[in-house]
Structure 1
Amino acid sequence: MVGSESAAADGALTLAEIAGKVHLICDDLKVSEALLIKLDNSQVVVHRGAKVKKISGKEEVNAIVLDDGTILSTSGVFIELGAKGLMELATSLGVVLDDTMRFIQADKAQRTNVSGIFAAGDICGPPWQVAKAVGEGCVAGINAADYAKKL
Structure 2
Amino acid sequence: MELLDIAIVGCGPAGLSAAVNAKIRNKVIKVFGAEVCSPKLASAPWIDNYLGFHQITGTELRDLYLAHIEEMGIEIYRTRVDNIVPMDSTFMLAAKTDMFEAKAIIIATGVSQTSYLPGERDFVGRGVSYCGTCDGPLYRSKTVAVVAYTHEGVEEANYLVTVAEKVFFLPQMKDYHGLSSQVEIVNGRPLGVLGEGHVTHLALKDQQLEVAGVFIFRDVTPAEQLLSGLNQFQGAIVVDRSMATNIPGVFAAGDSTGRPFQLAKAVGEGLVAGLSAASYIDKSASIK
Calculate the TM-score normalised by the size of structure 2. 0.29
Query: RMSD in angstroms over aligned alpha carbons?
Result: 4.1
Pair 1:141 & 2:247 matched:
no
1:81 is aligned to 215
Distance 2:280 2:124 in 1: 41
Q: What aligned pairs does 1:14-25 form with structure 2 within 5 A after superposition?
A: none
Shift of 1:48: 2.6
Regions of 4+ moved over 4 Å:
24-27
Q: Secondary structure at the match of 1:52?
A: strand
Calculate the TM-score normalised by the size of structure 1. 0.51
Q: Is the 8 A contact 1:28 1:48 kept in 2?
A: yes
2:252 is aligned to 119
Aligned residues: 103
Q: What aligned pairs does 1:1-151 form with structure 2 within 5 A after superposition?
A: 10-12=116-118, 28-29=126-127, 46-52=195-201, 61=206, 64=208, 81-83=215-217, 85=221, 87=223, 88-90=225-227, 92=228, 94-98=229-233, 100=234, 102-151=235-284
Identity of aligned residues (%): 30
Shift of 1:131: 0.3
Distance 1:53 1:128 in 2: 32
Higher strand share: 2
Distance 1:105 1:85 in 2: 17
Shift of 1:82: 1.8
Higher helix share: 1
Residues 46, 107 of structure 1: CA spacing in aligned structure 2 closer, same or farther, 3 A cutoff? Answer: farther
Deviations 1:126-147 (A, max 9, x none): 1111100011111111111111
Residues 115, 11 of structure 1: CA spacing in aligned structure 2 closer, same or farther, 3 A cutoff? Answer: same
Runs of 5+ consecutive residues of structure 2 not aligned to the other structure: 1-111, 130-192
Q: Is the 8 A contact 2:202 2:209 kept in 1?
A: yes
Runs of 5+ consecutive residues of structure 1 not aligned to the other structure: 1-6, 15-23, 32-43, 68-78
Q: Is the 8 A contact 1:53 1:65 kept in 2?
A: yes
